[in-house]
């Protein structure tokens, strides 16, 4: 086996497990979407289509079945594997690894994010060059995520590009030459105020 083949094989073997093992799996963001897409049709709230009298959408019903869930999602017997082959649904290796990691981490359930009380998250603490990029607390969250996934912010757009983007975004049309000139002039004095003005005017017209 060549070194290249070997390293590709290693990547293929390790890839499904990285991420899920390293950090806690989020029920809301990672697990629920897998269950919703692949299991709830037959093990969800709808009694009409429910199979095997098993509900996986409620913690109390699902908890006792988790060991069996673990066995069924990667079962070698095509008669036993879940979701059933004839349903046309199939879990990917990554999805199986996510479910496994979540169960091994203690299967923490979460309420759906839309019904949870709002909580202000702690603002990320960033080292100096990254933190300096942020103009407000929301930017800190964006910059922290960028660092996490290894991307850097794009260079700031010039005023002409910016008014073009904003106008397209708000109306679907380009700005008029007069609007460009007005924005460029206003942005020289106070760019943030000029941006806010474009939004206010556009929203009034919508
Ligand atoms: C198309 C319908 C369908 C889908 C989708 C489906 N299942 Fe099932 N499931 C069944 C049927 C039918 C049975 C009963 C037959 C059997 O045990 O194989 C069953 C049985 C089970 C059992 C065993 C219950 C027991 O009491 O022994 C588990 C665990 C299970 N499913 C988990 C899952 C999980 C996890 C998913 C999603 C990844 C899933 N199922 C998706 C139809 C479905």
User: Which atom of ligand 1 lies at the shortest distance from residue 69's CA?
Assistant: 29
Letter string b/e over residues 108-124, b meaning 16 or more CB atoms within 10 A of that residue's CB:
eeeeeeeeeeeeeeeeb
Pocket of ligand 1 contains residue 98 by CB under 6 Å: no
Nearest CA to ligand 1 atom 20: 52
82 and 135 assigned to the same domain = no
Q: Residue 106: is its pLDDT beyond 60?
A: yes
pLDDT band, residue 114 (cuts 50/70/90): confident
Ligand 1: which residue has its CA nearest to atom 6?
83
Lowest-confidence range among 43-47, 67-71, 101-105, 169-173?
A: 169-173
Do 84 and 14 lie in one domain? The reply is yes
Q: Please, is 200 exposed, middle or buried when counting C-beta atoms within 10 Å of its C-beta (0-12, 13-18, 19+)?
A: exposed
- CA distances to 5, 19, 169, 200, 204 from 102, in Å: 31, 12, 39, 46, 48
- Residue nearest atom 12 of ligand 1, based on CA coordinates: 51
Judge whether 13 lies within some domain.
yes
What is the distance between the alpha carbons of residues 135 and 165, in angstroms, rounded to a whole number? 20
**Residue finishing a domain among 61, 94, 115:** 115
pTM of the full structure: 0.65
Question: Which has the higher per-residue pLDDT, 11 or 67?
Answer: 67
pLDDT category at 116 given cuts 50, 70, 90 is: confident
> Does 181 fall in a domain?
yes
Domain assignment of residue 99, yes or no: yes
CA of 70 to the centre of ligand 1 (A): 11
Domain extent for 130 = 120-153
The residue whose CA has the least distance to atom 21 of ligand 1 is 52
Q: Would you state the pLDDT for residue 38?
A: 98
| pLDDT at 183 > cutoff 90 | yes
- Computed on alpha carbons and rounded to an integer, the radius of gyration of the chain in Å comes to 25
Does residue 15 surpass a pLDDT of 80?
no
Is residue 1 a part of any domain in this protein?
no
* Token couple for 64: 């006792």
Tell me, in angstroms, the distance from the centre of ligand 1 to residue 14's CA: 28
User: Distance from CA of residue 154 to its chain's centroid?
Assistant: 21
Residue of minimum CA distance from atom 31 in ligand 1:
82
One domain for residues 98 and 10: yes
Ordered DSSP codes for 22-38: TSPPPIIIIIHHHHHHH
Question: Are residue 99 and residue 28 in the same domain, yes or no?
Answer: yes
By 3-state DSSP, what share of the chain in percent is helix, strand and coil, each rounded to 5? 60, 0, 40
Query: Is 168 inside any structural domain?
Result: yes
Going by CA atoms, what residue is nearest to atom 1 of ligand 1?
A: 87
Q: 29 with 82, same domain?
A: yes
**Any atom of ligand 1 within 6 Å of the Cβ of 43:** yes
Same domain? For 144 and 59 the reply is: no
C-alpha dist (Å) from residue 23 to 17, 101, 105, 147 = 11, 9, 10, 16
Q: Are residues 104 and 32 in the same domain?
A: yes
Ligand 1 atom closest to residue 38's alpha carbon, by position in its atom list? 37
Q: What is residue 18's predicted lDDT score, i.e. its pLDDT?
A: 47
Nearest to 94 by CA among 8, 7, 11, 15: 15
> Quick check: is 145 in a domain?
yes
Q: How many domains does the chain have?
A: 3
Backbone angles phi, psi at 101, to 5 degrees: -60, -40
| Ligand 1 pocket: which of 30, 33, 72, 87 to mutate (most atoms within 8 A of CB) | 72
- Mean pLDDT calculated for residue range 110-128: 89
The pLDDT-based confidence of 3 (bands split at 50, 70, 90) is: low
Q: Judge if 84 and 53 occupy the same domain.
A: yes
């Amino acid at each position: 086996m060549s070194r290249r083949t070997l390293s590709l094989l290693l990547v293929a073997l390790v890839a499904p497990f990285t991420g899920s093992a390293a950090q806690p799996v989020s029920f809301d963001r990672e697990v629920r979407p897998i269950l919703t897409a692949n299991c709830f049709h037959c093990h969800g709230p709808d009694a009409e289509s429910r199979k095997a009298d098993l509900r996986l959408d409620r913690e109390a019903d699902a908890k006792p079945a988790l060991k069996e869930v673990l066995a069924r999602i990667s079962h070698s017997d095509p008669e036993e594997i879940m979701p059933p082959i004839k349903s046309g649904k199939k879990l990917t290796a990554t999805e199986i690894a996510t479910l496994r990691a979540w169960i091994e981490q203690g299967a923490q359930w979460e309420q759906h994010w839309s019904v949870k009380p709002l909580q202000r998250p702690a603002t990320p603490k960033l080292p100096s060059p990254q933190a300096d990029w942020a103009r407000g607390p929301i930017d800190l969250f964006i910059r922290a995520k960028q660092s996490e996934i290894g991307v850097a912010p794009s260079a700031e757009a010039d005023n002409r590009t910016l008014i073009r983007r904003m106008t397209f975004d708000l109306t679907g049309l380009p700005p008029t030459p007069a609007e460009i000139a007005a924005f460029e002039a206003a942005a020289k004095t106070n760019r943030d105020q000029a941006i806010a003005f474009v939004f206010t005017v556009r929203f009034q017209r919508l």
